[in-house]
Amino acid sequence: MECAAAILAAAPLAGRRTWLPLSPPPSPPFIQIQNRLYSMSSLPLKARGMRRCEASLASDYTKASEVADLDWENLGFGIVQTDYMYIAKCGQDGNFSEGEMVPFGPIALNPSSGVLNYGQGLFEGLKAYRTTDDSILLFRPEENALRMRTGAERMCMPAPSVEQFVDAVKQTVLANKRWVPPTGKGSLYIRPLLMGSGAVLGLAPAPEYTFIIFVSPVGNYFKEGLAPINLIVEDKFHRATPGGTGSVKTIGNYASVLMAQKIAKEKGYSDVLYLDAVHKKYLEEVSSCNIFVVKGNAISTPAVKGTILPGITRKSIIDVALSKGFQVEERLVSVDELLEADEVFCTGTAVVVSPVGSITYQGKRVEYAGNKGVGAVSQQLYTTLTSLQMGQTEDWLGWTVQLS
């Protein structure tokens, strides 16, 4: 397989693709924007010249820094096919290959691979932002690397080192730089995947693993944007149980919430808030977000004790809230406290901070006041964190990584 430098030199970003030999050439690619499909060849692109990219392994080649001409104002949160993805392999020796950039496209998997048969897989999510001076910022990528390593240990999988993970993220973002939305129009969502790709029939760890990173430009996760969402508390289905895998980002955790989420959305709710599986009265998390409850100057969030994912945005919001003088408590939070709160909000990589406008529990609906449903605390924390992520304020916490 050609090296990354040769691939990038031979395949113009807006031109013909060279597809992996492990799969047949697909039909002309399409991307979906606002629930419409567009042929890649039909999208006009605006050239903006060339510039040198600098990021360890990624510094060996130059990439065009043109920006794709998409409808950035109405991007939404969905998959947009970009140009390149990163792939590295790991055999039975537990060591990952150096990895390389290849054109984005299908991959081949053995029908008896560990990920397809036994769900041996993990994923991460982080974002890149374009600043006003056209540089790119990553937000705390080393935290995602550490969380993947923790999850891999729980799932009996090897994981790339923190250094390889972060460098692979840099390479992938720079190779797809033209897909990073203009400042203030969204972000480039980065999806690292670790999966058991080796063939296995009996229940056992896979003999081979594949680490992949792909990216997609995104807008708001919830269609409401920074506007209140409406949640329903689920007291029949449960997201996780003690001793399970609720605290790691394994793929099965997300498939299991689809039924409850589907039912909730059919009833007009934005998403589902889950309770603990033992007492059925303590808050856990939303389908893909952590939950926070505000009462006076105190902000409470469920403690991370094995059933709740330790969100990186959650961790960041706690630090930002403490710096603003709020009292932050990580503890058991009952559904009764939720219903009596002054304000409620969710946090996550995709949503950043999402204010909750109403909670419905066992037929009772509680609404939270605020400026058009957005509470003052939610607004303050959202503004502070996003300004830091997008390079609009000084990063006094050292959380951002700049790519130029």
Residues serving a catalytic function are: 249
106-110: long-range contacts at Cβ-Cβ below 8 A with a sequence spacing of 24 or more?
A: 106/19, 106/20, 106/23, 106/26, 107/20, 107/22, 107/23, 107/210, 107/212, 108/20, 108/22, 108/23, 109/197, 110/197, 110/198, 110/199
- Residues with Cβ < 8 Å from 122, sequence gap 6 or more? 148, 151, 152, 155, 157, 193, 194, 195, 248, 249, 250, 251
Q: Where are the beta strands (DSSP E) in 132-254?
A: 136-139, 187-196, 209-218, 229-234
Q: What is the C-alpha R_g of the chain?
A: 21
- Residues with Cβ < 8 Å from 46, sequence gap 6 or more? 66, 67, 69
Asked if 237 and 260 touch (Cβ cutoff 8 Å), the reply is yes
> In a 3-state reduction of DSSP, which class is residue 315?
helix
User: Please, what sign has the CA dihedral across residues 200, 204, 207, 213?
Assistant: positive
Q: DSSP letter at 203? A: S
Angle at CA of residue 277, ends 275 and 280, nearest 5°: 55
